[in-house]
Amino acid sequence: MERRTIFAGWALPAAFVLPQLLLTIFFFLWPAGEAIYGSLTRQDAFGIKTQFVGFENFVDLFTDPLYVESAGRTVLFCAAVSFLSMGVALLLAVFADREIAGRGFYRTMLIWPYAVAPAVAAVVWLLLLHPQIGMIAHGLKAVGVDWDYKINGGQALLVVVLASAWKQVSYNFIFFLAGLQSIPRSVIEAARMDGARGWRRFRTILFPLLAPTTFFLLVVNLVYSAFDTFGTIQALTQGGPGKSTETLMVKVYRDGLVNQDLGGSSAQSVVLMLGIVALTVLQFRFVGRRNSS
Amino acid sequence: MAGLVLRDIRKSFGSVPVLHGIDLELASGEMLVIVGASGCGKSTLLRLVAGLEEPTAGAIELDGRDVARLDPAERDIAMVFQNYALYPHMSVFDNMAYALKIRGLSKADIAARVRETGEMLGLGPLLDRKPRQLSGGQRQRVAMGRAIVRHPKLFLFDEPLSNLDATLRVTMRAEIKRLQRRMGVTSLYVTHDQVEAMTLGDRLLVLHKGRAVQLATPMEVFERPADTYVAGFIGAPAMNFLPGVLSHGGTAVTLDLGPVLVFADGRRAVADGTRLTIGIRPENIAADPDGLELQVDLLEPLGSETVVIGRLPNGELLSVKVPKAEAPTERMTIAFPAAHLHVFTAETGLRLDP
């Protein structure tokens, strides 16, 4: 049954909605509008003159090999982070779903990293992987790996992928665990009676029944890795060495705030915004379809 | 087909004992119904046989092989679940084919067997549907089909009809019985429904608080219940119980109400004065102009018969089943025919035979 509250006037409902509206206006609509306007203009080096240039910034963007390269790098980064964080989370969730001693403790511990701020998480990984003082770095060097992510671009990318994925594992874990627990026990028992064990049972029963959760998480993780990892990357590598960890988000920051190309940076923001819109629409359509069936 | 033997099966969850040593022997092709109130351990017993739980002690022999510690996959037992437990993401065909695929049968064999079973259950046109597109009765059939198609050594039924409406339940009950006869598969059937128990079972096992109280054919359980629990559980409306003491050298009972009833089947070999519980079914109580007076409290018309719930002179409730035409309005007088008395020792509740 649908629950509806009927208000006598419009003042009270308006007052309820107002705070959220204000937040949306000041923190989303206004800056987004500025970005769209900015993406259509170009400023001189001193910020004195602003000139309207139409879609020139966008044309420049898509013809810039550095931008295309960064886009490719971002796709790789997002795929790696999503795959790694979801894979590890699923594995942990499958184990946590079993009846094991101390699983309450185990589950709580797994949820903690989600509460850690990106910069703090980055520092933790920095301390572990730092070429001179990192524990893991020492171990790697001891077994003959030439570890220095401050020079080696591939290693730097690996570091930011690891740190970003680690932070998202908790979130994915919670959803996967909830998804697993909502699968009726009797269906799993029926599969056991039918002779399905271990990996086969997972592949043919559990994983297909987790598909809605997996799809939801895939979208969330893509959004996270594309847009929410700036803090982690900035704290770990600042997009370097060179441009080897410069994702689109880092590039917006570098071009706009470091290199002061406000028009070009705004155009990049608008492109990213469209990306978010597309992913959100995809998510809503899918969730909507699932609920109506 | 195989026989099943349970030897001293015990199960505790933590420190709570649920089953206190169950012994059982099923002949090949036999259908045994395990019946009892909720919490008596009947589902646990079934899950132990299935391999979904491990017994704390005891042996489960299927076809002469102890399977108590084996994974369900190694037992070759099929189970029909209460909520059907169909695989929601698979079609009816795939639901039924799943176990066969795991056993590595060829595609052609699988298709042939699934189609044959599907036809037998009238599922032919539904094979491509998903479970959510089926009605409750159809899902029930698919669950049966999934068990049958495997040709297992043993069928387990865990209250398979309890989610169906009353009409469908009666139809499916008959169908299960027919199928089981036809396939000749040894079966264990768990239910709390006494009508299902009476109609389906070759034999009944009545469980009470984790103990086997009686193991016998349905008619024997009905006619000679082993104790007051079984007597009250099997039969509807439930059997009446009246307190009394053994008297006249063991040949009669003096009811606390006053009347003396002479046993039709002979002398009980215990001392006079032993407290007894006399059971008599509502349909066996006779109207008798010289009998005890019963004040009508409530009438429950069942169609051709009416159940009279009345108060005895001492205020106790008693139910009597009478033909519709003979239903009283305010009071009736009754007698307890000696041939239909069930005699139990009051202290233990056990049946006391001559």
Give pLDDT tens digits for B131-162.
988 888 888 889 988 998 988 888 999 988 88
CA distance B335 to B354: 22
Nearest chain A residue to B47 by CA: give it: A189
Q: What CATH number belongs to B4-232?
A: 3.40.50.300
Q: Does B51 touch chain A (CB under 8 A)?
A: yes
Q: Does B221 touch chain A (CB under 8 A)?
A: no
3-state SS, chain A, equals CCCCCCCCCCHHHHHHHHHHHHHHHHHHHHHHHHHHHHHCEEECCCCCCEEECCCHHHHHHHHCHHHHHHHHHHHHHHHHHHHHHHHHHHHHHHHHCCCCCCHHHHHHHHHHHHHCCHHHHHHHHHHHHCCCCCHHHHHHHHCCCCCCCCCCHHHHHHHHHHHHHHHHHHHHHHHHHHHHHCCCHHHHHHHHHCCCCHHHHHHHHHHHHCHHHHHHHHHHHHHHHHHCCHHHHHHHCCCCCCCCCCCHHHHHHHHHHHCCCHHHHHHHHHHHHHHHHHHHHHHHHHHHHHHHC
What is the arithmetic mean of pLDDT over B259-284?
Answer: 91
Domain ranges of chain A: 43-292
Domain ranges of chain B: 4-232, 239-345
Q: Which residues of B touch A204 (CB under 8 A)?
A: 98
State ipTM: 0.82
| B26 token code pair | 């099923």
Q: Which residues contact A79 (CB under 8 A, 6 or more apart)?
A: none
CB contact under 8 A, B73 and A195: yes
CB contact under 8 A, A193 and B71: no
Q: Does A31 touch chain B (CB under 8 A)?
A: no
Q: What CATH number belongs to A43-292?
A: 1.10.3720.10
Answer yes or no: are the C-beta atoms of B156 and B2 closer than 8 Å: no
Q: Which residues of A touch B73 (CB under 8 A)?
A: 192, 195-197
| A233 token code pair | 């990357």
Q: Does B81 touch chain A (CB under 8 A)?
A: yes
Q: Does A198 touch chain B (CB under 8 A)?
A: no
Q: Which residues of A touch B88 (CB under 8 A)?
A: 187, 209
Give A 167-186 residues with CB within 8 A of chain B: 184, 186
Task: Tell me the C-alpha to C-alpha distance, in Å, between residue A258 and each of A250, A254, A255, B98.
Answer: 11, 5, 6, 60
From the CA atom positions of chain A, what is the Rg in Å?
23
Decide: residue A43, CB within 10 A, 0-12 exposed, 13-18 middle, 19+ buried.
middle
Q: Which residues pair with B25 in a beta bridge?
A: B5
User: What does DSSP say about strands B31-35 and B203-208: parallel, antiparallel, or unpaired?
Assistant: parallel
Give per-residue pLDDT as tens, B116-136.
888 888 888 888 899 988 888
Residues of chain A with pLDDT under 50: 291-293
Q: Does A208 touch chain B (CB under 8 A)?
A: yes
Helix, strand, coil % over all residues of chain B, rounded to 5: 30, 35, 35
**Using omega within 30 degrees of 0 as the cis cutoff, is the peptide bond preceding A19 cis?**
no
Place of tokens 């205020």: B315
CA distance B280 to B336: 8
Q: Does B54 touch chain A (CB under 8 A)?
A: no
Residue in A184, A187, A196 closest to B102 by CB: A196
More confident residue, B40 or A7: B40
- B253: confidence class by pLDDT, cuts 50, 70, 90: very high
Give per-residue pLDDT as tens, B53-105.
888 988 898 888 888 888 888 888 999 998 889 999 999 999 999 988 888 88
Nearest chain B residue to A208 by CA: give it: B89
CA distance B48 to B60: 9
Place of tokens 């208000």: A7
Task: Give CATH superfamily name and number for B239-345.
Answer: Nucleic acid-binding proteins (2.40.50.140)
Decide: residue A219, CB within 10 A, 0-12 exposed, 13-18 middle, 19+ buried.
middle
Nearest chain B residue to A200 by CA: give it: B102
Q: Which residues contact B225 (CB under 8 A, 6 or more apart)?
A: B214, B231, B234, B239, B279, B342, B351
CB contact under 8 A, A191 and B103: no
Answer yes or no: are the C-beta atoms of B344 and B350 closer than 8 Å: yes
What is the per-residue pLDDT for B217? Answer: 93
Q: First and final CA of chain A: distance in angstroms?
A: 17
CB contact under 8 A, A193 and B86: no
What is the per-residue pLDDT for A3? Answer: 64
CB contact under 8 A, A195 and B72: yes
CB contact under 8 A, A184 and B83: yes
Q: Does B99 touch chain A (CB under 8 A)?
A: yes
CB contact under 8 A, A192 and B52: yes
- B240: confidence class by pLDDT, cuts 50, 70, 90: very high
Place of tokens 């008798």: B288
Phi, psi of B167 (to 5 degrees): -65, -50
Answer yes or no: are the C-beta atoms of A45 and A254 closer than 8 Å: no
* Residue to substitute from A182, A193, A290, interface B, most B β-carbons within 10 A: A193
What is the per-residue pLDDT for A292? Answer: 40
Q: Does B70 touch chain A (CB under 8 A)?
A: no
Q: Does A3 touch chain B (CB under 8 A)?
A: no
Give per-residue pLDDT as tens, B284-324.
998 888 888 899 999 999 888 999 999 998 888 999 999 88
**Is pTM, for the whole model, over 0.80?**
no
A173 alpha carbon, distance to own chain's centre: 15
CB contact under 8 A, B88 and A204: no
Q: Does B149 touch chain A (CB under 8 A)?
A: no
Sheet containing B305-311: give its strands across.
Answer: B317-323, B305-311, B286-301, B331-335
What is the arithmetic mean of pLDDT over B33-46?
Answer: 89
3-state SS, B73-110, equals HHCCEEEECCCCCCCCCCCHHHHHHHHHHHCCCCHHHH
